[in-house]
Amino acid sequence: MPVKSKKRPGRPKDKALIARRCEEILDAAAQIFAAQGYRNTDVQLVADRLNIGKGTVYRYFPSKRNLFLAAVDRGMRRLRTQIETCTANIADPLERIVRAISAYLTFFDTHPEFVELIIQERAEFKDRAKPTYFEHRDANVGPWQELFRELMRAGRVREMPVERITDVLGNLLYGTMFTNYFAGRQKPFEVQAQDILDIVFYGILSEQERKGCPPAVDEGTPCD
């Protein structure tokens, strides 16, 4: 009785296998795109690294561009996971900030390929409204702003617009990440984190100078 009970004939699809393959390909792609640059990376190189055929890569990602952007996005999601893991279960808000900054710098120190991918993305895909990095940054900034508001309410942080803090801190980390990668990190990143925190928390002015008036910039711009 040729009952086609529940299984279609032919080779069945293996979802898990497919997902694993995707991960492997994205891993290899991230490394090679970072090492060679987007334009200098032949998809063949990615396939060779994995000992698979070029056509196979195209089975999983419809184009080189698509493969690249998927690799970047995966990096950003990993960064977020890393930071969340490192700050979970930390009660003290200031301590959370400390941990997050350290996790951020550690992540890019451990995975320098993602710094490169961020650059490559900007260089090649100028048409994208907003680079992947900033999409993720904007999507994740909310909770941190809430945390700073709390700290102000608790009187532990000076009153100021929270955006001032998150912007300055965000840009500082962003710039530090790039500088570390491009110019070479000069000191252990724990020290680097400390340096950042020392200045961001305490400022550079001496006690005595703090008593004077705040600096002003708005007296006209004498040069252009």
Which parts of this chain interact with DNA (CB under 7 A)?
8-11, 13, 17, 21, 39-44, 47, 51-56, 58-60, 62-65
Which two three-digit tokens encode residue 206?
Answer: 């001496």
User: Which CB, 16 or 129, lies closer to DNA?
Assistant: 16
Choosing among DNA, a copy of itself, none, which partner's interface includes residue 62 (Cβ < 5 to 8 Å by kind)? DNA
Dihedral (CA of 76, 80, 85, 87) sign: positive
Encode 107-146 in three state secondary structure: HHHHCHHHHHHHHHHHHHCCCCCCCHHHHHHHHHHHHHHH
**Rounded Cα–Cα distance for residues 12 and 10 (Å):** 6
Nearest approach, Cβ of 49 to a copy of itself (angstroms)? 17
**Rounded Cα–Cα distance for residues 144 and 96 (Å):** 10
Choosing among a copy of itself, DNA, none, which partner's interface includes residue 193 (Cβ < 5 to 8 Å by kind)? a copy of itself
**Rounded Cα–Cα distance for residues 82 and 85 (Å):** 5
User: Which CB, 5 or 206, lies closer to DNA?
Assistant: 5
Q: What is the largest CA-CA distance in the chain?
A: 95
Buried b (16+ CB within 10 A) or exposed e, 138-176: eeebeebeebbeebeeeeebeeeebeebbeebbeebeeb
Q: Which of 41, 69, 76, 176 binds a copy of itself (CB under 8 A)?
A: 176
Positions 16 through 35 that interact with a copy of itself (CB under 8 A) = none
Nearest approach, Cβ of 27 to a copy of itself (angstroms)? 18
User: Which CB, 58 or 174, lies closer to DNA?
Assistant: 58
Do 118 and 72 form a contact (C-beta atoms < 8 A)? yes
Q: Which of 44, 110, 149, 150 binds a copy of itself (CB under 8 A)?
A: 110
Is 174 a residue that touches a copy of itself (CB under 8 A)? yes
Question: Which range of residues in 16-24, 43-51, 60-68, 158-166 is near a copy of itself by CB under 8 A?
Answer: 158-166
User: Which CB, 63 or 110, lies closer to DNA?
Assistant: 63
Q: Which of 68, 69, 74, 82 binds a copy of itself (CB under 8 A)?
A: 82
Is 158 a residue that touches a copy of itself (CB under 8 A)? yes
